[in-house]
Chains A and B, each alone.
Chain A
Amino acid sequence: MTAAFRSEDEAQRITLVFSGRLDTAAAMNLQDAVLARIHAVAPGQILRFDLGAVEFVASSFLRLCIQATRALGNERFELARPTPLVREVFTMAGLDQHLRIVDPGA
């Protein structure tokens, strides 16, 4: 499945809804567009990466998450709905202790 994302913009939150396999090649292809969205988040808005439809992540995508949390701070960046296989990668990298992971459907 080809990796992609779409942006859902609300007054208080921008959500990037990712889908597919975010391996290195895919993450590199999406990198510039994702970074542009990170830097477009307005003061007072938060940024959410919705990972509910993501099948796979590699470290190149983890790096994008770190860039987002560095740009916005931990209070204004969150990851939502990672599948168990995807969450396991964040855990192995030790990032589940540093990034805010939420389950808005719970």
Chain B
Amino acid sequence: MTDVAPGHWQVTADNSGLARLQQQAAAWLDGAGVAARCAQHVLLALDELAANVVQHGVGASWISLRLALDADAIELELHDDGVAFDPTGHAVSAAAAPTLGGYGLKLVRQLACAFEYARAADNCVRLRLACERD
């Protein structure tokens, strides 16, 4: 499982870029033999984080993604060139009644076993997700 080469892609920060990231990541996960449920979790976390950049990020023109496998987890690293935004510090609604938004980061936090943000030349979000192989 660890002999699978990491995948790396860069797309424009728009809806067509989101769709391309999903397609490319899905193909890589399939080729790596990642179990269907784990692959869905990775694709969901990716979609939510990348959609955050496209829908709420200010000034982002591109998003890059790196996926890598180790013994028991997948590492997902997402970069964008928008203004600084730390999704790990963003409050998630705990309202009893359903709200209209806020589900994306709630899902990401439940899916990830580690969730980190760093800001250097760009925004960098790193996730680790538990992974099983078919």
**Total A residues in contact with B, Cβ cutoff 8 Å:** 25
**CB of B44 within 8 Å of the partner chain:** yes
Check if A25 sits within 8 Å of B19, measured CB to CB: yes
Cα of A102 to Cα of B101 in the assembled complex, Å = 24
Check if A63 sits within 8 Å of B106, measured CB to CB: no
- Given contacts A66-B98, A69-B98, A93-B103, is CB(A58)–CB(B19) below 8 Å? no
Check if A95 sits within 8 Å of B44, measured CB to CB: no
Cα of A56 to Cα of B73 in the assembled complex, Å = 21
| Interface set, chain A 8-53, CB cutoff 8 A to B | 21, 23-26, 28-29
Check if B43 sits within 8 Å of A56, measured CB to CB: yes
**CB of A106 within 8 Å of the partner chain:** no
Check if B106 sits within 8 Å of A93, measured CB to CB: yes
Interface residues on B, range: 20 to 34
Check if A25 sits within 8 Å of B22, measured CB to CB: yes
- Given contacts A66-B98, A98-B98, is CB(A23)–CB(B47) below 8 Å? yes
Contact with A along B45-57 (1 / 0, CB 8 A): 0011011001100
Could you say which of B15, B44, B100 contacts A58, with CB atoms under 8 Å apart? B44
Could you say which of A23, A63, A66 contacts B19, with CB atoms under 8 Å apart? A23
A30 to chain B, nearest CB (A): 12
> What residue of chain A has the Cβ atom nearest to residue B55's Cβ?
A24
Number of inter-chain CB pairs below 8 Å: 66
B interface residue numbers (CB < 8 A to A): 15-16, 18-19, 22, 36-37, 40, 43-44, 47-48, 50-51, 54-55, 97-101, 103-104, 106-107, 110-111
28 contacts between A and B (CB under 8 A): A21-B22, A23-B19, A24-B18, A24-B47, A24-B48, A24-B55, A25-B19, A28-B15, A56-B40, A56-B44, A58-B104, A59-B48, A59-B51, A59-B101, A63-B100, A63-B103, A66-B98, A67-B100, A70-B100, A89-B44, A92-B106, A92-B110, A93-B107, A94-B106, A95-B103, A98-B97, A98-B98, A99-B98
